[in-house]
Amino acid sequence: MLRVRPNSRRQLLLGAGALAGGLAWLDRSQAAVNPQRIVSVGGALTETLCLLGAQGQLVGVDTTSLFPPDVRRLPSVGYARALSAEGLMSLAPTLIVASDEAGPPTVLRQLEAARLPLQILKSDHQFEGVLERTRRLAELAGRPKEGQTLLARLQQQWQQACEQVARSKAARPPRVLFVLSHALNQVRVAGRKTAADAMLGYAGAINVMDRFEGYRPLSGEAVIAAAPDVLLVTDMGLEAVGGVEAFLRMPGLAQTPAGAKKRVVSMDPSLLLGFGPRLPQAVMRLHELLHG
């Protein structure tokens, strides 16, 4: 474990507090009682910790941690897949929580060698995975009561989401193509065993690219053959390519039933693909957009 002299530790705590001073939700009295210094690597993990009331224990987050918005004021440790051991250690954490998508592996090994308490949580794109991560984070943050309350609320919200989808099951579920286009030179479509595929299933839709696993580069011929009714993209992706008209100029998209009718649906990426505690709301919102 990284050891910090009392004076240095106090300076680090004051520095982190100053950076997060504008956070409306920062509970300093709570932080004083529980002196854990948590670095969270993964937007869904950060969201969950905040809902558990552990926001005052956070001293750093990664760039995918965007919700609630105030967490953006905390010190950043960079992109989840391109972490720096030095950057993480500089925050003197007593706990680092990360999804199994974090990396690179060499940095994770450096953290383990430095005996920093690193906890890797599985990125399971299922509601059950959300529950399991919530249980584990409540345990790690020392908030079992808050964990039980949050779990009960999540299960109630999930039941409501499932009932909404079941009530409006269409005779012909919409056939949807998810396009990941955050970078113009890396436009890909989602197959099976992806967060997008799981979300489409939960929302009562069909993924037209279910014949392969993971993500593949966009192919105009394959898109035309798949004939989607709806094109799904993230808000960030739509903005990156320059809006709906520019998006439809990508290979094959305009030649699909969805392209002909300009049926392009977008959602916030952290909500659509995050599989965090807002999953019930995300499923209901996606269902409304696809079936509306």
Q: Residue 167, exposed/middle/buried by CB under 10 A (0-12, 13-18, 19+)?
A: exposed
d(CA 256, CA 19): 49
**pLDDT single digits (tens) 279-292:** 999 999 999 999 97
Segments making up each domain of the chain, as ranges: 6-155, 170-291
Whether residue 35 has a cis bond before it, omega within 30° of 0: no
**Matching fold, domains 6-155 and 170-291:** yes
**Per-position DSSP letters for 151-199, written without gaps between them:** HHHHHHHHHHHHHHHHHT--SSPPEEEEEE-SSTT--EEE-BSSHHHHH
pLDDT of 7 strictly over 50 = no
d(CA 260, CA 36): 54
Q: Which CATH superfamily is domain 170-291 in?
A: Nitrogenase molybdenum iron protein domain (3.40.50.1980)
Residue 292's pLDDT is what?
A: 74
φ/ψ (deg, to 5) at 215: -110, 145
**pLDDT single digits (tens) 108-143:** 999 989 888 999 999 999 999 999 999 999 999 999
Structural contact between residues 228 and 255, judged by C-beta atoms closer than 8 angstroms: no
Q: What is the CATH number of domain 6-155?
A: 3.40.50.1980
Residue scoring higher pLDDT (273 or 22): 273
Summarize the confidence of residues 29-52 as an average pLDDT. 82
